[in-house]
Amino acid sequence: MSGPIVVVAGATGAVGDEFFALFEQRKFPIGELRLLASARSAGKKLTVCGVEYTVEEMTAGSFAGVDIALFSAGGARSKEFAQHAVDAGALVIDNSSAFRMDEDVPLVIPEINGHLVDDFCAGAGKTCEGIIANPNCSTIIMLVPLEPLRRRFGVERIVVSTYQAASGAGAAAMRELETLSRAALAGEAVEPKIFSEPCAFNVFSHDSAMHPETGRNQEEQKMIDETRKIWEDAEIGVVPTCIRVGVKRAHAASINVTLSSPASESKVREALAEGEGIELCDDRTGNSFPTPLKASGKNDILVGRIRPDETQDHADGRYVGWELFVCGDQLRKGAALNAIQIAERALGV
């Protein structure tokens, strides 16, 4: 056996499927793989990289000898079991919100602050122990394309509207979209179970809990708090509006960004073209721009509709305000891929 012992916690969910596809696509080094889920999924057979595995129930004793534990089982399960994995000597990379704002837990997007993984694992040998958190999917999809602009010009303020697919609420939500879509086309009335509003052929405010005083929902607050932590900038202005749309997979976002220093369109495009994890999709002549369908299954964030905001300060063809429209696969870069990139960096591969 060569390579680390890897556990996937939440193996039967939508993100679990993406882990398995990416293991094969990226030739992720695995010496031994263990698949964990709830008691009701124990015994299920899954094929990963051509090998059949039996899903086991996740318990406190599931992590003996484990090097890397990829958690995507929800915040409650992470809080219950992540520390058991750490105590067994594993590096936990957690997809939930359970630890993101813990000051002792790095919140990592490798294209932005991957050095935190190096610092966290310094001197630990093959792997390290502890917890590293994956940011919220909407935060990742927004910040990856903004990072090259921040590095070159600085960023003062972000106004963002998200259009989030059913995939963000998991496999059951994706099935609900399919069921309600069929019912709507057949003229049948079916009550939603996952979402508070019918998701088929509909657009509605994000289904996370709403703060009665701020008027922000939890998804919007996450984007504010996580951006400030990742960029280490407590003053950055972030004004999000998070919306759920009747799309199966891949989130979109309309972004208005205010730069610290003005930039020409050629320089903005140059910065974006050189950015990591970005694919430009900006064909004005052909009216072809990012869409969720184009982004689905892709690892990069698609960026288009690049244009200046003429209502903000500008002179001599240089603007501080810029508009972007981006799409990214929530299950890929918004979840599984980001976690695997962290694991690869921790392993030095």
The pLDDT value given to residue 349: 87
pLDDT tens digits, one per residue of 189-226 = 999 999 999 999 999 999 999 999 999 999 999 999 99
The pLDDT value given to residue 2: 73
The pLDDT value given to residue 128: 78
pLDDT tens digits, one per residue of 86-116 = 999 999 999 999 999 999 999 999 999 999 9
Q: What is the mean pLDDT of residues 8-14?
A: 95
Q: Is 251 a catalytic site residue?
A: yes
Q: What is the mean pLDDT of residues 54-76?
A: 96
Q: Token pair for residue 281?
A: 């999709």
pLDDT tens digits, one per residue of 303-330 = 999 999 999 999 999 999 999 999 999 9
> Which of 206, 251, 281, 327 is flagged as catalytic?
251
Is the distance from CB of 99 to CB of 131 less than 8 angstroms? yes
The β-bridge partners of 315 are 318
pLDDT tens digits, one per residue of 275-307 = 999 999 999 999 999 999 999 999 999 999 999
Lowest average pLDDT, out of 31-40, 118-127, 238-247, 323-332, goes to 118-127
Q: Token pair for residue 162?
A: 């998200």
Residues 83, 22: Cα–Cα separation, whole Å: 26
> Which of 128, 137, 281, 327 is flagged as catalytic?
137
The pLDDT of residue 1 is above 60? no
The 10 Å Cβ neighbour count of residue 115 is 12
Exposure string of 69-102, with b = 16+ CB inside 10 Å and e = fewer, is bbbbbbeebbeebbebbbebebbbbbbbbbbbee
What global pTM score does this model have? 0.95
Q: What percent of the chain has pLDDT over 70?
A: 98
The pLDDT of residue 246 is above 60? yes
The pLDDT of residue 123 is above 70? no
The pLDDT of residue 124 is above 80? no
Q: Is 211 a catalytic site residue?
A: no
Domains in the chain: ranges and CATH: 5-135+334-347 (3.40.50.720), 138-330 (3.30.360.10)
316: amino acid identity, one letter: D
Given phi > 0 = left and psi -120 to 50 = alpha, else beta, which region is 248? alpha
- For residue 222, which of 155, 157, 143, 111 has the smallest C-alpha distance? 143
Q: How far is CA 62 from the centre of its chain?
A: 26
Residues 101, 211: Cα–Cα separation, whole Å: 18
pLDDT tens digits, one per residue of 131-180 = 999 999 999 999 999 999 999 999 999 999 999 999 999 999 999 999 99
Q: Token pair for residue 256?
A: 């208005």
**Of 131 and 126, the one with more pLDDT:** 131
Residue 127 pLDDT level (bands cut at 50, 70, 90) = low
